């Protein structure tokens, strides 16, 4: 087996799994707001919403304080409450399921497909009961789910379909950008490791005015007007008609979001270039297997995830994780299956064995660094170091045997944008 000896990066550089890219243009956009009249609930919020809805081809956009707030607002808008069940995947950040719980609903976990780690439509069907009100599909790592199947399932069972696209801004499914359908509501996150950032922030988009109006009400304490609108109409009177939250996004953040959105095509191009470079290095590897990608999607590559059967190695993942970090590579694990967290075990009596595909995947996955400003040298260093560490961990008797089938990546179509 060929041995790899990656070059050391200059100095003590640490390559994180993700990070923001802030330009001088971004800084100037924020500074302009700091010198303007409104720092929050001002004109930049509406401008960001308008530009964002145009980009994803949705009728309405509602800016909120983070991706979790967007999920919570979506659950409020579709009327989730006590006694309602919402089907969710286990391989996601806890916020996906937590938003259901915030509204008093019960998350029901449907397992994922083994090659993509996206929610499995066949497993969704088996989880539907008389109490099911919605499905939340998560575009894990930046790859859109099988929305054609999920939409049919939702329509046949009179369910809402929510897309958690916090990993997938700029992704495309069957020629349409994520957020432009077919979900009833699609939510995004603008955390610094995501495709664009507002520091913290989120957005919910929909083609249904009623849902958009409910989410706008919800983000502002359930109050029918905000300070700016009352000031412009010369009134002090307002009414609180629902129990909402303070989930507003400031003008400062929205100015940054507008500037970042203009740079999104470049950010996406850089992420795909990095992914292709990883693919090329890992091609033919029997130890390291990247996730499969569909031919009808445009992958946004929020994460670059590989699978490794650590049970076949001389060391466990914790040891490999520490070794890679010691080499300056900020690997991560996305995610601990939500149903295995203590809160869900205790509150909903979930248990190991509930989602065996996701649980097996969790034991094998590592996320490798990917962010737009990564250099070719950094990508090569990360990929070759991972290979070297894995090869050094193989038992002598396993050197020439298959752990996984050799990796052959499905070619992805280019963007229509």
Look at residues 302, 318, 294, 282 and name the one whose alpha carbon lies nearest to residue 393: 318
Torsions phi, psi of 289, nearest 5?
-125, 110
E strand intervals along 299-359 = 304-307
Alpha helices in 165-290 (DSSP H): 209-218, 227-233, 251-282
Q: How far apart are CA 105 and CA 144, in angstroms?
A: 25
- Residue 306's alpha-carbon distances to 137, 282, 334, 338, 341, in angstroms, are 21, 10, 11, 20, 23
371 three-state secondary structure: coil
E strand intervals along 295-334 = 297-298, 304-307
- Residue 361's alpha-carbon distances to 75, 149, 316, 342, 366, in angstroms, are 28, 23, 14, 19, 10
194 is an active site residue: yes
The H-or-E segment that residue 126 falls in is helix 121-127
Helix (H) and strand (E) counts in the chain? 13, 13
Q: Specify which residues 138 forms β-bridges with.
A: 164
CATH architecture of 264-398: Alpha-Beta Complex (3.90)
Q: Where are the domains of the chain?
A: 24-260, 264-398
pLDDT given at position 403? 52
Q: How far apart are CA 291 and CA 61, in angstroms?
A: 31
Q: How far apart are CA 407 and CA 269, in angstroms?
A: 23
Q: How far apart are CA 160 and CA 157, in angstroms?
A: 9
Token output for 57:
């081809």
Q: Which fold has domain 24-260?
A: 3.40.640
CB-count burial class (<10 Å; 0-12, 13-18, 19+) for 132? buried
185-189: strand order across its sheet: 60-64, 202-206, 185-189, 160-164, 132-138, 85-88, 106-109
pTM for the whole thing? 0.93
Q: Residues 339, 362, 125, 74: is their CA dihedral positive or negative?
A: positive
Look at residues 123, 116, 131, 29 and name the one whose alpha carbon lies nearest to residue 80: 131
Q: How far apart are CA 187 and CA 146, in angstroms?
A: 17
362 three-state secondary structure: helix
Q: How far apart are CA 359 and CA 337, in angstroms?
A: 7
pLDDT given at position 198? 98
pLDDT given at position 234? 80
Catalytic residue among 123, 133, 194, 216: 194
Token output for 23:
């330009």
**pLDDT tens across the length of the chain (417 residues):** 344 444 455 555 899 999 999 999 999 999 999 999 999 999 999 999 999 999 999 999 999 999 999 999 999 999 999 999 999 999 999 999 999 999 999 999 999 999 999 999 999 999 999 999 999 999 999 999 999 999 999 999 999 999 999 999 999 999 999 999 899 999 999 999 999 999 999 999 999 999 999 999 999 999 988 777 777 778 889 999 999 999 999 999 999 999 999 999 999 999 999 999 999 999 999 889 999 998 889 999 999 999 999 988 999 999 999 999 999 999 999 999 999 999 999 999 999 999 999 999 999 999 999 999 999 999 999 999 999 999 999 997 655 555 555 544 544 344 333
């Amino acid at each position: 087996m060929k041995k790899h000896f990656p070059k050391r990066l200059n100095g003590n550089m640490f390559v994180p799994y993700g990070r923001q890219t802030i330009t001088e243009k971004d800084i100037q956009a924020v500074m302009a707001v700091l010198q303007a009249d409104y720092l929050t609930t001002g004109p930049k919020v509406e401008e960001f919403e308008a530009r964002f809805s145009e980009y994803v081809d949705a009728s309405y956009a509602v800016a909120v304080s983070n991706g979790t707030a967007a999920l919570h607002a979506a659950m409020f808008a579709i009327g989730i409450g006590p006694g309602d069940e919402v089907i969710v995947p286990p391989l996601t950040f806890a916020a996906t399921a937590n938003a259901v719980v915030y509204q008093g609903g019960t998350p029901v976990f449907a397992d994922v497909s083994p090659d993509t780690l996206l929610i499995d439509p066949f497993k969704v069907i088996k989880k539907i009961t008389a109490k099911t009100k919605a499905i939340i599909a998560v575009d894990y790592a930046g790859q859109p789910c099988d929305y054609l199947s999920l939409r049919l399932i939702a329509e046949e069972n009179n369910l809402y379909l929510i897309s958690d696209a916090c990993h997938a801004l700029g992704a495309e499914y069957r020629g349409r950008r994520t957020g432009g359908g077919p979900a009833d509501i699609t939510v995004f996150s603008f955390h610094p490791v995501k495709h664009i950032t507002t520091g913290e922030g989120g957005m919910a988009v929909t083609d249904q005015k009623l849902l958009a109006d409910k989410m706008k009400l919800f983000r502002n304490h359930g109050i029918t007007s905000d300070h700016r609108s009352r000031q412009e109409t010369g009134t002090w009177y307002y009414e609180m008609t629902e129990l909402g939250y303070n989930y507003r996004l400031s003008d400062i953040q929205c100015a940054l979001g507008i500037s970042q959105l203009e740079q999104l095509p470049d950010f996406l191009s850089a992420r795909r270039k990095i992914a292709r470079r990883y693919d090329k290095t890992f091609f033919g590897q029997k130890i390291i297997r990247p996730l499969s990608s569909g031919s009808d999607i445009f992958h946004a590559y929020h994460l670059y995830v590989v699978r490794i059967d650590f049970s076949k190695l001389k060391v466990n993942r914790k040891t490999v994780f520490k070794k890679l970090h010691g080499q300056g590579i900020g690997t991560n694990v996305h995610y601990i299956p939500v149903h295995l967290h203590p809160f869900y075990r205790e509150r909903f009596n979930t248990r190991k064995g509930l989602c065996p595909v996701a649980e097996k995947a969790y034991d094998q996955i590592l996320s490798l660094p990917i962010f737009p400003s990564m250099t070719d040298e950094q990508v090569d260093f990360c990929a070759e170091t991972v290979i070297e560490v894995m090869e050094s961990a193989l038992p002598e008797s396993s050197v020439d045997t298959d752990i996984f089938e050799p990796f052959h990546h499905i070619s992805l179509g280019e963007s229509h944008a």
